[in-house]
A and B are shown apart, each in its own frame.
Chain A
Amino acid sequence: DTEVTQTPKHLVMGMTNKKSLKCEQHMGHRAMYWYKQKAKKPPELMFVYSYEKLSINESVPSRFSPECPNSSLLNLHLHALQPEDSALYLCASSQGYMSTDTQYFGPGTRLTVL
C-alpha cells in the first residue's frame, strides 16, 4: 500500500458540532502532518507528528486537536469551528522526520462549517 488515505471525503458541520477527520498510511512512515488548504492557496502546515509525538504546532487554535493513536493513524478532532475554518484538510506522511524527507499527501477532507 503506497497511499495516504483520508476519511471522510466531505464533511459539513455546524459551529456547535464535534467531528473528527481520520488519516491512515501503511508505508511505515514515521512522520505525519496536517495541512489546511484554502481555495487557490498553497497548503499551510498545522501540525507535525514524529514517532507518534507532536513535534510542531503552528499556532493552531485549540478548536483543532490532533491525535496520533499509533504510527499508522492520525486524527484531527474538530470542535466549535468557525465558518472561516472551511477548507480542504490534507494529511501527509514522510518516511523520516528530516525536513528533506519527501511528503506524500492524502486526498483530503473538504470541510464546510455552517
Chain B
Amino acid sequence: GENVEQHPSTLSVQEGDSAVIKCTYSDSASNYFPWYKQELGKRPQLIIDIRSNVGEKKDQRIAVTLNKTAKHFSLHITETQPEDSAVYFCAASRRGGSQGNLIFGKGTKLSVKP
C-alpha cells in the first residue's frame, strides 16, 4: 500500500524567511496530493493541493511542487508570518484507489518566530 514520509518533523524559522516541507510517496499510481494546515485545537484546513498532471501550483505565498519521477512533493511558504505557525500534513491518494483513501504524512510542526 501507499506510504507517505514527511520531513522535517519540526521546523523553526524567523519571520520573513521561507519554509520548505518535503514529502515522499511510494505508490507511483498516486495522483492527488493535498496539504493541510492544522492549528492547535482546530480542524485540518486544506491550503493547497496538486494533481499529477501539474508540476507546480502557487497561491500567493504558498506553492507546491511535484516530481513524479522521484515521487516527492514539497510545500514552500515564502515571507513567513507568525500566523503560519501550525502543524502541516501532506497526503497522497491513488487513482482508482478506495474512496477516502488519503494517506497522511506524520506532520511538520512549523514555528515562525517574530
Query: Do the two chains bind?
Result: yes
Write the residues of chain A forming the contact surface with B, with a CB cutoff of 8 angstroms: 31, 33, 40-43, 45, 48, 50, 55-56, 90, 94, 97-108
Contact A50 B106 (CB under 8 A): no
A5 CB to closest chain B CB (Å) equals 11
- Distance A102 CA – B50 CA, assembled complex (angstroms): 10
A57 CB to closest chain B CB (Å) equals 11
Contact A98 B43 (CB under 8 A): no
Partner of A43, one of B49, B94, B97, B104: B104
Contact B32 A48 (CB under 8 A): no
Are A42 and B104 also in contact (CB < 8 A) when A105-B44, A105-B45, A108-B43 are? yes
Are A48 and B99 also in contact (CB < 8 A) when A100-B32, A100-B51, A102-B34 are? yes
A34 CB to closest chain B CB (Å) equals 10
Contacts of A50 in B (CB 8 A): 99
Chain B residues with a Cβ closer than 8 Å to the other chain, count: 28
> Which residues 63-104 in B have Cβ within 8 Å of A in the complex?
87, 89, 91, 93-102, 104
Contact A42 B107 (CB under 8 A): yes
> Which residues 20-74 in B have Cβ within 8 Å of A in the complex?
31-32, 34, 36, 42-46, 49, 51
Contacts of A45 in B (CB 8 A): 100-102
Partner of B44, one of A40, A56, A90, A100: A90
B85 CB to closest chain A CB (Å) equals 15
Are A98 and B99 also in contact (CB < 8 A) when A43-B44, A90-B43 are? yes
Are A102 and B49 also in contact (CB < 8 A) when A42-B89, A42-B106, A108-B43 are? yes
Partner of A99, one of B43, B49, B100: B100
Contact A100 B43 (CB under 8 A): no
A sample of 12 inter-chain contacts (CB < 8 A) reads: A33-B100, A41-B106, A43-B89, A48-B99, A55-B99, A56-B98, A56-B101, A98-B99, A99-B93, A99-B100, A100-B51, A103-B102
Contact A102 B98 (CB under 8 A): no
Question: Which of B49, B51, B96, B98 is the most central at the interface, judged by chain A CB atoms within 10 Å of its CB?
Answer: B98
